[in-house]
Amino acid sequence: MFFKKLYQFGDRLEDKVRGRLSHYPLIYAFIGGAGVIIFWRGIWHTVDFLMDIFSNNPIDGVAWWDGPISTLFGMVLLLMVGLFVSSFIGNEIVISGLKGEKKIVEKAEQEIKEEIEHEIDVDTEIQIEMKDIARRLEKIQRILENKK
């Protein structure tokens, strides 16, 4: 119950923040970039701290909480602006997963060729329609010129 309410709150907050920031793309990009950097800084510092512990190196004045807090702050920032998933996974991968498609590396060569051929067929159909529309426009222009 608590997690459901927390999720709904986060979802509404993300929608509001994205809605406002979408009007200011440079600020949106800056905040998104800063969020990614802060997130990865936290990961980096956490791993460095763990490596110091496991390699028995003395830890001089390093705050153990620096990395996890940076990671958490970066994650919250990216979640708020709606970039957490898309910045690490990418929209195309998420969409292909929702459609149930295979990754390109998993697709057989034949499947890829078929997709390309289908796209070429669609392009050819569009070109034929455009030529037909151009031919009709020429007829209309000739009719209008004759009526003058």
Contact criterion met (CB below 8 Å) for 70 and 39: yes
Q: Name the pTM for this structure.
A: 0.55
* Together in a domain, 76 and 132: no
What does the pLDDT look like over 58-75, one tens digit per residue? Answer: 666 667 788 899 999 999
**For residues 46-65, b (16+ Cβ closer than 10 Å) or e, as one string?**
beebeeeeeeeeeeeeeeee
What does the pLDDT look like over 108-142, one tens digit per residue? Answer: 666 777 777 777 777 888 888 899 999 999 988 88
In angstroms, the CA 28 to CA 71 distance is 20
In angstroms, the CA 4 to CA 99 distance is 26
* Together in a domain, 62 and 115: no
* Tokens matching residue 51: 């490596």
* Together in a domain, 77 and 120: no
What DSSP string runs through 15-49? HHHHHHHTT-HHHHHHHHHHHHHHHHHHHHHHHHH
What does the pLDDT look like over 31-47, one tens digit per residue? Answer: 888 999 999 999 998 88
* Together in a domain, 113 and 90: no
Could you list the residue range(s) of the whole structural domain that residue 43 is in? Answer: 1-101
Number of domains making up the chain: 2
* Together in a domain, 39 and 55: yes
In angstroms, the CA 73 to CA 45 distance is 14
* Together in a domain, 97 and 107: no
* Together in a domain, 22 and 81: yes
* Together in a domain, 24 and 92: yes
What does the pLDDT look like over 75-105, one tens digit per residue? Answer: 989 888 888 776 666 656 656 665 666 655 5
